[in-house]
Amino acid sequence: MRLGARLLRNRLADDRGDEEIRRALVEIYRRAGHLDQAGRFALGQPYSNRAERDAYARYLLSIDADEARIRDLSLLPQKHPVPDGLVAEMARVGEEDHRGERWDWCIAVGFVAFFALSLITVVTVYFVVILGGREALLIARIGGVVSSGALAVVTLGFAGSAWARRRWIAAAAWTAATAGIVGSLVLVGVGLLVGRWS
């Protein structure tokens, strides 16, 4: 794939107006799953799609590209202007990423809490067993529930980040995972209470 893409890039650099080579290059990157590169060479073309344009806009933001740099990266012909909507698209993608980053604290707190609570549970159960206590199983179950709650915070953070960035498939998957964890926690929690007080 790399060799084929490199050869096509070189040919396109020699003749930036060759639409057949441009389309073939886009298809190579599209099949390989390199959305940013597909968006790079499909810039301004009718066959570009939203996901590729977003990926390329995000890359352009990361390198703070100006119009000349964009033209050079996309190998645009001199007569082919940089699309007017690209700046607006870059601004939109930047705002979506900013909203997504607001969920990072949720992910970080959730991970820290998960590992800390899991460690506390294991150590506590160990010492209770060593000292001959009878509540080791109950402590393990409660610790598991609380640790799973922290894990739900992590998946919630990933879900919120994906929704903010309009990554619909990932957002739906993380939301489903969060719902599954929370549902399981409710069932286990009810079971613990019923078993404890019955």
Place of tokens 């597909």: 38
Residues near 73 by beta carbon (within 8 Å), at least 6 away in sequence: 40, 60, 65
pLDDT computed for residue 7 by the predictor: 85
Q: How far is CA 45 from CA 6, 38, 40, 81, in A?
A: 20, 11, 10, 11
Residue type, 176: A
Separation between Cα atoms, residue 86 and residue 61, nearest integer Å: 11
Please state, as a whole number, how many other Cβ atoms lie within 10 Å of the Cβ of residue 121: 19
pLDDT computed for residue 78 by the predictor: 77
CB 90 within 8 A of CB 57: yes
Q: How many residues does the chain have?
A: 198
Please state, as a whole number, how many other Cβ atoms lie within 10 Å of the Cβ of residue 86: 20
pLDDT computed for residue 119 by the predictor: 93
What is the helix (H) or strand (E) element at residue 8, kind and residue range?
Answer: helix 2-14
Separation between Cα atoms, residue 82 and residue 73, nearest integer Å: 11
Profile the chain (198 residues) by mean pLDDT over runs of 10 residues: 77 85 89 88 82 83 81 82 73 71 85 92 88 81 87 90 82 91 82 60
pLDDT computed for residue 198 by the predictor: 47
Q: Which of 104, 107, 100, 101 is nearest to 162 (CA)?
A: 100
CB burial of residue 24 (10 Å; 0-12, 13-18, 19+): middle
pTM for this predicted structure? 0.57
Residue type, 70: I
